[in-house]
Structure 1
Amino acid sequence: MATSFRFKVATASVLAFALSTGAAHARETSKSCHQKFTTARTAGTLNGQSYKDFKTAQCGDAANADTRTAETAAPAASPVAAPAAPAPKAAAPAAAPVSTSATLPDAISAKYSKEAAGKARMHTCLDQYNANKAANANGGLRWIQKGGGYYSVCNAKLKG
């Protein structure tokens, strides 16, 4: 067990070190990019570029630099097609109301009226569930179960 713990600590240490050096490199890169921007601004060679535009154009890695130079070399007259926005997903069909023989409350109990709406519904449903449990009137539903238990059905009824 001690070996397993040591292995976990060593792994966590290596991971933390790897992440911290990457963050330090990113800070240094950002710092040098800002210095480039300041130099270009004082020299007056920005041509109205914001820092964000300058950073994307001048401070990327080597792989991105090649694609950026190809884009800037293309004639400005040819419009660049914007990527098509993904079609919005259709809303999921509403779950069919579960018909149950369980006794459900009609409204939130007055003793929970000062609580938040969600908690008031939960406590009201729980009180009714426990009362039904004593009288065997839960209609075969458990409090929480896969596919929707008593709480799910009761909460939906009180919400709607």
Structure 2
Amino acid sequence: MLPLGSSAPAPANTSFYVSNARATTRNLIHNDGFNTLFARIQFPTSSLASLDGDPLALGDSVLVTLSADAGVYGIRFDPEGLRFASLGRPLLTFSYVRYGNLSVASGSRYADPTAYANALEVWRETSSDRWANTGGAGTALSDVSTSLQQAGHYVVAAPR
């Protein structure tokens, strides 16, 4: 997992309503006085498919909570039972340009921090300490994004 640099202030957690009737964007920022982006999530209109198996209609909304993991680029996205429409999935972007600790590339299979950054992807926890790659693309040494099928626990990591 991509660690935060030792000087990185903890990002603020946030809760908000997402409505199927309109697009919504929220940012988790570092409390550093500069509002440095940690993660952004963008919900298109009609992105909510179901909650705990119950279908959601155009007028429905859901209270969503994003909580940053301590010390790494990761978030917990609740409620866990939330699923997204296949044609309108939210986009999750992690920004590590300022506080990403790419020195973890030392001693790994990656030749240097740039190679490590190019290999970063977003992973979702499928069960206790089991992870599935959700893919990801971004700008090297800056950010990585992926579309989401469901709420859950997501982290930035490179394959071992």
**TM-score after normalising by structure 2:** 0.19
Q: Which protein is richer in helix relative to its size?
A: 1
* Largest Rg, 1 or 2: 1
**TM-score after normalising by structure 1:** 0.19
